[in-house]
């Protein structure tokens, strides 16, 4: 056990039951394809004292801000529709091969959206 770390109670109740059933069935925990059920989550752990607690708090804040950033990027992408781009065949338009290679999720978004994110956020093109 990590020093000065409070975890509340040991895994009992519903979580211990789930762990037992999972081990007994020989299944690995993981995402199920197209499931509408809530995922199985690890039990929450209280923040530790001292430096480790500061690290935990910072990590949780980073996760929260990452979600905020992802939602903002999605809102930004929604304001840049692909219909504003030049049509295929026009000079300066994206080639048909390049367009067909784009992920399905990006086909409704302007081809220039990622370049705007690259400049604004100092990212690489794949990261954007």
Q: Which long-range contacts (CB under 8 A, 24 or more apart) does 8-13 make?
A: 8/43, 8/44, 8/45, 8/46, 11/43
Residue 24: inside a domain, yes or no? no
Residue 29 lies in a domain: no
Considering its fold, how many domains does the chain have in total? 1
Q: Phi first, then psi: what are they for 122, rounded to 5°?
A: 55, 50
In a domain, 35, yes or no: no
In a domain, 65, yes or no: yes
Tens digit of each residue's pLDDT (9 = 90 or more) over 32-66:
556 667 666 666 778 888 999 899 889 989 999 99
Across the range 72-80, mean pLDDT stands at 90
Tell me if the pTM is above 0.85.
Answer: no
* Mean model confidence pLDDT for the chain: 77
Please indicate, yes or no, if residue 20 is contained in any of the structural domains.
no
| Rounded Cα gap, residues 10 and 1, in angstroms | 12
Exposure string of 70-92, with b = 16+ CB inside 10 Å and e = fewer, is eeeeeeebeebebeebeeeeeee
Boundaries of domain holding 72? 61-83+93-128
């Amino acid at each position: 056990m990590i020093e000065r770390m409070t975890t509340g109670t040991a895994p009992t109740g519903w979580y211990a039951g789930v762990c037992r059933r999972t081990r007994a069935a020989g299944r690995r925990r993981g995402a199920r394809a197209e499931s509408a059920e809530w995922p199985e989550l690890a039990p929450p752990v209280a923040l530790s004292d001292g430096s480790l607690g500061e690290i935990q708090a910072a990590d949780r804040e980073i996760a929260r801000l990452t979600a905020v950033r992802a939602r903002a990027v999605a809102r930004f992408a929604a304001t840049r529709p692909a219909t504003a781009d030049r049509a295929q065949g026009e000079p300066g338009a994206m080639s048909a091969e390049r367009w067909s290679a784009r992920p399905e999720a990006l086909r409704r978004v302007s081809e220039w959206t990622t370049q705007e994110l690259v400049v604004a956020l100092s990212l690489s093109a794949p990261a954007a």
